Structure 1
Amino acid sequence: MTSHPTFPTPADAPIGVFDSGVGGLSVLRHIRALLPQEHLIYFADSGYAPYGGRTEAYVVERALAIAAYLTGKGVKALVVACNTATVAAIKAVRAHYPELPVVGVEPGLKPGAAASRNGKVGVLATVRTLQGEKLLQLRDQIAAATGAQFLLQPCPGLVDLIEQGELDSAAIDALLAGFVAPLVEQGADTLVLGCTHYPFVQDAIARAVIAAGGRDVKLIDTGDAVARQLARLLEGAGLQRPGSAGHPPTLHGYTTASADALASAFRTLLQLDVAVETLKI
């Protein structure tokens, strides 16, 4: 049996956040807003992205490799800021690092059902996320409990465009029209953004809803729920960094692709200047 080192997790240690690319920055934004005193490490696995069309074994391998790197940096908690990686790999990550709080991201089916007025909830996500056993079981449980109907819509190619910085373009509008219109036509009054990349094109999704004839359609982003769950786990373990700590919080970025591209994403998406390093793992 493989043994894993136990890392110290003092309150001053950083929190590790990772995604297949820049989508997890939407979660990082909520974490920084709720826990502004915390040190953070963000890891974008852009060299191996997107995860959405990959096999489960592939995603598990990448998630464990990144988790190993981040635990080697002494993180006190891990945030799997990727819906696909959460569905495929969070069980394996937790099994490998039982000493660490590990928070995942799941499509907001429960808040979507609660927000819907007519019980028809569209779920926009990657192919891999929508095929995951965990999501399908959750769908069935919530549907049985609430009577909600979940309309699952895979969005191939959308992550790729967002990674390329196409946030407000004719290409994004054209792609989203094909994903959103069928949901509006089926009567969905709530759309769940089931990938951490998608909040960055929320305005374009809203335009697609209007173009399809939709009105008063709610969009559900679960990034805030992830941040609140992280805060609860840190508080319960006595690991929250005090706001009066002696030195300001730090934010470091790492990527398996272009450091310049991730640094640009930090500036464009979060208005932050962050030093980024490229790694090969």
Structure 2
Amino acid sequence: MRAEAPILIFDSGVGGLTVLAELRKILPTAPVVFAADQAGFPYGAKSEAEIAARVAGLLGRMSERYRPRLACIACNTASTIALEMVREVLEIPIVGTVPAIKPAAAITKTGTIGLLGTEATIRQGYVDRLETRFANGKTLLRFGAPGLVRAAEAKLRGQALDTDAIANAVSGLRDQPGGDQIDTVVLACTHFPLLVDELGAAFGSNVTFVDGAAGIARRIVSLCEGQSFASDIPSLAITTGSFDQFTPLARLFADHGIDQLDRF
């Protein structure tokens, strides 16, 4: 493996920074290409066919251009829909992002778990299979909260937070039968951990939040075991959308070891 080959992190927006933050704790100088498909954002309201075709096509083109050692789909919606297709198309390891139902089931004391995701994520059979496999005998309540995605993106840009999106997400779970028993909430979107303080205040101190970012980072590292990384190769953040709307995030990317921005 070429030492200069980057790790490609792909997301519909910039929620995947939660994964990159965990990765930087372990591999602080590894070359990274962070790809934000802002031209396709948000994914949650798109059809499965649209998402699958878009993600597979973009990752194929990005892999040809940047020659990564592996790719991480740092998006629950894209992973639950397109992960297997991408693995069939690309000849590099692909790390997906799936709802952290397994660890949530292990820590709940009431047996009632909430799951917040996009509308596309919560209706996937992939989530049904995770529930059957890891939360058998538990109660899993799901709610599609697309407003949280935009709220998280706004927060990163220093814009006013949509408090209605937070309240809607909380009531969407609490108002379901048995919702008052929720003590663990799965944040099934890489954007949502960016709002953990706001969600925590709204749900109350008796609720624990679980996301998969740290586990995803560990998986990336395990797949890179024994490989060398060129520390002098600059990391890059790219967008498929408006570059003018991307550049205000330069300082945020710099905090994660990425000093170069470009349009794909």
TM-score if structure 2 supplies the norm length? Answer: 0.90
CA contact (8 A) 2:253 2:259 kept: no
* Residue number in structure 2 paired with 1:46: 38
Q: Helix, strand or coil for the counterpart of 1:261?
A: helix
The amino acid across from 1:188 in the alignment is I
- Aligned-pair Cα RMSD in Å: 2.1
Distance 1:222 1:260 in 2: 31
How far does the alpha carbon of each residue in 1:75-130 deviate from its partner, in whole angstroms, 9 at most, with x for none? 11000000000001010010011x31110101100011112111111101000001
CA contact (8 A) 2:151 2:165 kept: no
- Mapping of residues 79-228 of structure 1, within 5 Å: 79-97=72-90, 99-144=91-136, 147-165=137-155, 171-184=161-174, 185-210=179-204, 215-228=205-218
Matched, 1:255 2:239: yes
Distance 2:250 2:21 in 1: 10
- Number of corresponding residues: 258
Q: Cα–Cα, structure 1 residues 183 and 79, in superposed 2: closer, same or farther, change >3 Å?
A: same
* Residue number in structure 2 paired with 1:3: none
Residue 266 of structure 1 and its aligned partner are, at CA, apart by 4.8
Distance 1:168 1:84 in 2: 25
Residue 271 of structure 1 and its aligned partner are, at CA, apart by 3.0
TM-score if structure 1 supplies the norm length? Answer: 0.85
The amino acid across from 1:64 in the alignment is A
The amino acid across from 2:234 in the alignment is T
Gaps of 5+ in 2: none
The amino acid across from 2:188 in the alignment is G
* Residue number in structure 1 paired with 2:12: 20
How far does the alpha carbon of each residue in 1:235-271 deviate from its partner, in whole angstroms, 9 at most, with x for none? 1xx4x325xx5x4352101101123433433524773
Q: Helix, strand or coil for the counterpart of 1:16?
A: strand
Distance 2:154 2:214 in 1: 25
Higher alpha-carbon deviation: 255-264 or 111-120: 255-264
* Segments of 4+ moved more than 6 angstroms: 166-170
Residue 133 of structure 1 and its aligned partner are, at CA, apart by 1.2
CA contact (8 A) 2:157 2:249 kept: no
The amino acid across from 1:128 in the alignment is A
The percent identity for this pair of structures is 33
Residue 159 of structure 1 and its aligned partner are, at CA, apart by 1.2
Residue 171 of structure 1 and its aligned partner are, at CA, apart by 4.7
Residue 192 of structure 1 and its aligned partner are, at CA, apart by 0.8
Distance 1:187 1:170 in 2: 31
How far does the alpha carbon of each residue in 1:17-53 deviate from its partner, in whole angstroms, 9 at most, with x for none? 1000111111111112111231100110001110001
The amino acid across from 2:123 in the alignment is Q
Gaps of 5+ in 1: 1-8
